[in-house]
């Protein structure tokens, strides 16, 4: 088996890329992509720790499944919100949705 | 129930009646007078039972009915209050109970119970008639008194005061009863409070008796400070009396007993309207006639004489005090009788007559004639109450006439508007005649003769010539003005149309007259002196034995002498005859030769007192106290403070409040906050990615802080 740290570094890298995307992309859907990436990175972390820890304990797997489910649900809701905003304001660029400024 | 328990209960029913009427039954006239007359009846019953019990006791003076309780703790001892029934109390209770009951019954008729309410009757004014339809004609009939229940409440309270006074065994509760009656006399004289004259009379009565009361209170206090007790049985013991007689009071040579006696006597001078405090009683005729009967004949003024009689063992210790008492009594008797001769109002004559007769009693006490004074007190209560109630009946009859003719200018109380009423009001006439003859001292068949004769006999027998002479002249004038009154009112022909239409009054008014006239005739026979020619010795002189037993030393009956008896007969019969002779043909006041201005205007005493006391008192209140002290001095001081406080206040406001508190702190902090807010606002851009960035930076920063503080 490869050392645990390889998986963790991978997950960290993916997480950072996802974070960067969420913070810098213009399109709202692209921000959602970044968020998805962050969630998947976390999943890799969870699976790695499970595999390299107590394999008999189902908790790691279960947690990963739940994260998947939550990510899916969240993306569904997020996309629905983006569509709704597009229909109202005719834009998907996050910077232009700033009605909540002072 | 023992006699003592019953004695405690006697004053209770009228007090209860007062509270019940005031709190509950004021709206219902029937209920109010039932409660009141019922209460009077209960007290009468209790008094009669106690009286009968008292008659059976041998030497009641030595073993009276007494019962007292510890009431006021005074250090190691107690001030006790209680009841005492000795012979004096018993006979007083008898006449008080009877007269009170008669007056209560009379009041039902006097205030026109059962008559309709008048359309224009005001509360506080005497009722003046209601119009009724009677087979097609408008008739004016007497209307019922609007404040009917209140009257019964007040006379209930009044009787309560009198019973307390009579039954008390100490000076304190006597004084309490005294003051209650003073209050009630104010309330009742001013019963028709919307009349200015009644209001003024009520204040005058209260003020004048108050002057007397102050001195009486001083006497009571002085007595207590010397002896430490106020209870009669304790004061009238040998040692205390001797101590009081010896101790000088340091005041004009009076002994302590003399000064105390004098001070207590001044209370009586006020209450019994003796000279110089007599001015209130004639004005008190403004009250309804039952009030005049009650207060000024039967009970209140008798209370004054009762108090002196009660304190007789004390007063008799000092000869100077006794002389003052005798002088004032005799002087008042003559003085008031001269004024009565010139009065035209039927009630005023009786008022001055009361003052004069009280003078007789006081003079009798002053010369030491104890039993004679008590005798005259009792007989006077009966016949004077009879006369007052009779005069009320006459006035009612006249008012009937006034309502009939509709001429309200005619005064129903002026005797010169009357005449011939013996045909229209027979019961009133005969009972008034009996009362008048008793007052004049008509021989043998009237009670007044026996009591007055005994006073004159005592004065003559003990050598008090001046008193004898004065009282004899007073008795002559008494008979004269009484017959004048009877002649002008009842005899001859009616002088005005109103008198022609007078009517007899209902049974509630005439029944008490009849009952009282029985006493006015018969009461004298219990006191027939032993050596009286023909009649003496037939019945024992019960009154002398019984009442004389009150004193420790049983007074001796005066030896019989023809001169006072003949004088008494002469003045009584002569006065009556002369009065009838002079007045039987007089038609108007102008023809009355005895209307001397000096008498008619009561020797100008009211004007004198007004000048000496009333006007200075008003000046003191209005000018000195109000204008100079209150408005000038006190308000002046306040006006000095005014600009100072104002100045301080306004400078604090201008130099501290506004610039520092308002501007600097108040407005300043607001401006600072606003400026900060403006600057900080910029953070909120509404752009999500910037918010996420802030969150990330904050997370890293806090994470670093936590890492360095907690983990490394």
pLDDT digits 0-9 by tens, A62-102: 999 999 999 999 999 999 999 999 999 999 999 888 888 87
Asked whether the beta carbons of B442 and B521 are under 8 A apart, the reply is no
- Min distance A96 CA to chain B CA atoms (Å): 8
pLDDT of residue B532 exceeding 80: no
Asked whether the beta carbons of residue B689 and residue A19 sit closer than 8 angstroms, the reply is no
Picking from B684, B689, B693, the nearest residue to A101 by CB comes out as B684
Asked whether the beta carbons of residue B689 and residue A100 sit closer than 8 angstroms, the reply is no
Residue B439 confidence (pLDDT): 93
Higher pLDDT, B496 or A25: A25
Least confident of A78-87, B55-64, B217-226, B692-701: B55-64
Least confident of B184-188, B286-290, B514-518, B544-548: B544-548
- End-to-end Cα spacing for chain A: 55
- Min distance B653 CA to chain A CA atoms (Å): 40
Best residue of A24, A25, A95, A97 to probe chain B, by most B CBs closer than 10 Å: A95
Residue B164 confidence (pLDDT): 94
CB pairs under 8 A between A and B: 32
pLDDT of residue B400 exceeding 90: no
Residue B344 confidence (pLDDT): 87
Candidates B104, B121, B126, B123; CA nearest to B399 is B126
pLDDT of residue B536 exceeding 80: no
Asked whether the beta carbons of B338 and B277 are under 8 A apart, the reply is no
Span B182-233, pLDDT tens digits: 999 999 999 999 989 999 999 999 999 999 999 999 999 999 988 888 888 8
Residue whose entry in the numeric block shows the structure tokens 């328990």: B5
Best residue of A18, A31, A100 to probe chain B, by most B CBs closer than 10 Å: A100
Contacts of A31 in chain B (CB under 8 A): 688-689
Contacts of A23 in chain B (CB under 8 A): 689, 692-693, 696
Taking the Cβ of residue A94 and every Cβ of chain B, the question of whether any pair is shorter than 8 Å is answered with yes
**DSSP code at position A95:** G
Residue B47 confidence (pLDDT): 93
pTM here?
0.78
Contacts of A97 in chain B (CB under 8 A): 686-688
pLDDT of residue B442 exceeding 80: yes
Residue A73 confidence (pLDDT): 97
Residue A66 confidence (pLDDT): 97
Chain A 28-67, residues with CB within 8 Å of chain B CB atoms: 31
Least confident of B8-12, B223-227, B534-538, B631-635: B534-538
- Min distance A1 CA to chain B CA atoms (Å): 31
Asked whether the beta carbons of residue B688 and residue A22 sit closer than 8 angstroms, the reply is no
**CATH 2.40.50.100, applies to A4-96:** no
- Min distance B651 CA to chain A CA atoms (Å): 45
Contacts of A100 in chain B (CB under 8 A): 684, 686
Residue B14 confidence (pLDDT): 94
User: Residue B609: CA atoms inside 13 Å, Cβ hemisphere, count?
Assistant: 13
Higher pLDDT, B1 or B367: B367
- Min distance B683 CA to chain A CA atoms (Å): 9
- Min distance A85 CA to chain B CA atoms (Å): 14
* B438 vs B541: CA distance, rounded Å: 19
Asked whether the beta carbons of residue B689 and residue A23 sit closer than 8 angstroms, the reply is yes
Residue A74 confidence (pLDDT): 96
User: Residue B321: CA atoms inside 13 Å, Cβ hemisphere, count?
Assistant: 27
- Min distance A9 CA to chain B CA atoms (Å): 19
User: What ipTM was assigned to the predicted interfaces of this complex?
Assistant: 0.89
Residue B401 confidence (pLDDT): 84
Asked whether the beta carbons of residue B689 and residue A98 sit closer than 8 angstroms, the reply is no
Residue of B nearest to A96 (CA): B687
Least confident of A1-15, B88-102, B539-553, B563-577: B539-553
Helices B148-167 and B171-189: crossing angle in degrees, nearest 10, is: 160
Give alpha helix (H) positions in B57-195.
Answer: 87-110, 148-167, 171-189
**Structure-block tokens of residue B23:** 């709190």
Span B374-389, pLDDT tens digits: 999 999 999 999 999 9
Candidates B499, B494, B485; CA nearest to B400 is B499
β-strand B137-141 against B77-85: which pairing, if any?
A: unpaired
Residue B513 confidence (pLDDT): 92
pLDDT of residue B437 exceeding 90: yes
The confidence band for B541, taking pLDDT boundaries of 50, 70 and 90, is confident
Span B284-341, pLDDT tens digits: 898 899 998 888 887 888 899 999 999 998 888 888 899 999 999 999 999 999 999 8
Span B619-645, pLDDT tens digits: 888 888 888 888 888 888 999 999 999
Least confident of B154-158, B263-267, B442-446, B449-453: B442-446
Contacts of B682 in chain A (CB under 8 A): 102
SS3 assignment, position B594: coil
Residue B669 confidence (pLDDT): 92
Residue B151 confidence (pLDDT): 93
**Where are chain A's structural domains?**
4-96
* A65 vs A43: CA distance, rounded Å: 9
Picking from B681, B682, B686, the nearest residue to A98 by CB comes out as B686
Asked whether the beta carbons of residue A23 and residue B693 sit closer than 8 angstroms, the reply is yes
Picking from A24, A94, A102, the nearest residue to B688 by CB comes out as A94
How much of chain B, in percent, has pLDDT values that exceed 90? 42
- What angle is formed at CA B125 by the lines to CA B202 and CA B140, rounded to 5 degrees? 145
pLDDT of residue B551 exceeding 90: no
pLDDT of residue B609 exceeding 80: yes
* B257 vs B249: CA distance, rounded Å: 8
Contacts of A22 in chain B (CB under 8 A): 689, 692
- Residues of chain B whose beta carbon is less than 8 angstroms from a beta carbon of chain A are 681-682, 684-689, 692-693, 696
Contacts of B696 in chain A (CB under 8 A): 19, 23
Taking the Cβ of residue A102 and every Cβ of chain B, the question of whether any pair is shorter than 8 Å is answered with yes
Residue B689 CB burial class (10 angstroms; 0-12, 13-18, ≥19): middle
pLDDT of residue A52 exceeding 90: yes
Contacts of A32 in chain B (CB under 8 A): none
User: Residue B82: CA atoms inside 13 Å, Cβ hemisphere, count?
Assistant: 18
Mean pLDDT over all residues of chain B?
88
């Amino acid at each position: 088996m490869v050392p645990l740290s390889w998986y963790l570094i991978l997950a960290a890298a993916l997480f950072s890329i996802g974070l960067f995307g969420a913070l810098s992309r213009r399109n709202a859907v692209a921000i959602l992509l970044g968020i998805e990436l962050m969630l998947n990175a976390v999943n890799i972390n969870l699976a790695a720790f499970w595999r390299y820890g107590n394999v008999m304990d189902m908790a790691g797997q279960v947690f990963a499944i739940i994260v998947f489910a939550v990510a899916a649900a969240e993306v569904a809701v997020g996309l629905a919100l983006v569509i709704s905003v597009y229909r109202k304001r005719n834009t998907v660029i996050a910077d232009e949705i700033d009605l909540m400024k002072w | 129930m023992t006699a003592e328990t019953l004695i405690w209960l006697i004053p209770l029913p009228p007090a209860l009646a007062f509270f019940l009427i005031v709190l509950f039954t004021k709206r219902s006239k029937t209920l109010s007078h039932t409660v009141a007359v019922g209460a009077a009846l209960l007290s009468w019953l209790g008094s009669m039972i106690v009286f009968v019990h008292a008659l059976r006791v041998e030497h009641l003076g030595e073993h009276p009915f007494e019962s007292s309780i510890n009431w006021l703790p005074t250090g190691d001892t107690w001030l006790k209050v209680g009841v005492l029934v000795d012979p004096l109390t018993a006979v007083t209770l008898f006449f008080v109970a009877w007269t009170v009951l008669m007056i209560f019954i009379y009041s039902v008729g006097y205030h026109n119970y059962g008559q309709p309410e008048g359309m224009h009757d005001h509360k506080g004014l005497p009722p003046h008639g209601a119009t009724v339809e009677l087979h097609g004609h408008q008739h004016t009939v007497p209307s019922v008194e609007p404040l009917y229940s209140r009257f019964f409440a007040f006379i209930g309270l009044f009787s309560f005061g009198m019973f307390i006074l009579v039954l008390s065994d100490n000076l304190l509760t006597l004084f309490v009863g005294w003051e209650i009656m003073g209050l009630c006399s104010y309330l009742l004289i001013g019963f028709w409070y919307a009349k200015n004259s009644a209001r003024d009379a009520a204040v005058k009565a209260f003020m004048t008796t108050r002057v007397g009361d102050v001195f009486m209170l001083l006497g009571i206090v002085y007595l207590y400070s010397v002896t430490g007790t106020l209870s009669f049985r304790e004061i009238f013991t040998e040692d205390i009396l001797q101590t009081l007689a010896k101790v000088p009071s340091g005041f004009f040579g009076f002994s302590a007993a003399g000064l105390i006696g004098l001070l207590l006597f001044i209370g009586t001078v006020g209450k019994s309207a003796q000279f110089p405090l007599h001015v209130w009683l004639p004005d008190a005729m403004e009250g309804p006639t039952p009030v005049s009967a009650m207060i000024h004949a039967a009970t209140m003024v008798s209370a004054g004489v009762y108090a002196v009689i009660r304190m007789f063992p004390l007063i008799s210790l000092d000869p100077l005090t006794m002389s003052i008492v005798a002088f004032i009594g005799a002087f008042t008797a003559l003085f008031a009788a001269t004024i009565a001769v010139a009065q035209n109002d039927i009630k005023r004559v009786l008022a001055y007559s009361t003052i004069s007769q009280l003078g007789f009693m006081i003079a009798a006490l002053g010369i030491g004639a104890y039993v004679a004074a008590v005798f005259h007190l009792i007989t006077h209560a009966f016949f004077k109450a009879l006369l007052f109630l009779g005069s009320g009946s006459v006035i009612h009859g006249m008012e009937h006439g006034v309502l009939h003719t509709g001429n309200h200018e005619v005064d129903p109380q002026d005797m010169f508007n009357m005449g011939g009423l013996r045909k229209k009001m027979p019961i009133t006439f005969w009972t008034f005649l009996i009362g008048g003859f008793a007052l004049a001292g008509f021989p043998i068949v009237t009670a007044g003769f026996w009591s007055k004769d005994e006073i004159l006999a005592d004065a003559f027998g003990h050598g008090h010539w001046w008193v004898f002479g004065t009282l004899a002249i007073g008795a002559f004038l008494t008979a004269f003005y009484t017959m004048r009154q009877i002649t002008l009112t009842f005899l001859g022909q009616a002088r005005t149309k109103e008198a022609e239409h007078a009517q007899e009054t209902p049974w509630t008014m005439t029944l008490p007259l009849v009952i009282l006239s029985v006493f006015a005739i018969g009461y004298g026979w219990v006191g027939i002196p032993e050596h009286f020619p023909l009649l003496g010795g037939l019945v024992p002189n019960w009154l002398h034995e019984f009442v004389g037993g009150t004193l420790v030393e049983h007074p001796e009956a005066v030896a019989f002498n023809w001169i006072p008896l003949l004088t008494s007969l002469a003045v009584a019969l002569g006065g009556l005859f002369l009065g009838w002779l002079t007045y039987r043909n007089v038609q108007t006041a102008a023809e009355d030769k005895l209307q001397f201005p000096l008498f008619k205007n009561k020797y100008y005493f009211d004007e004198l007192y007004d000048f000496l006391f009333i006007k200075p008192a008003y000046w003191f209140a209005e000018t000195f106290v109000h204008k100079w002290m209150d408005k000038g001095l006190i308000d002046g001081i306040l006006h000095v403070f005014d600009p100072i406080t104002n100045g301080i206040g306004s400078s604090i406001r201008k130099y501290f409040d506004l610039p520092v508190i308002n501007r600097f702190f108040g407005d300043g902090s607001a401006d600072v906050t606003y400026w900060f807010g403006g600057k900080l606002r910029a953070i909120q851009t509404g752009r999500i990615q910037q918010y996420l960035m802030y969150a990330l930076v904050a997370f890293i920063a806090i994470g670093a802080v936590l890492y360095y503080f907690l983990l490394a």
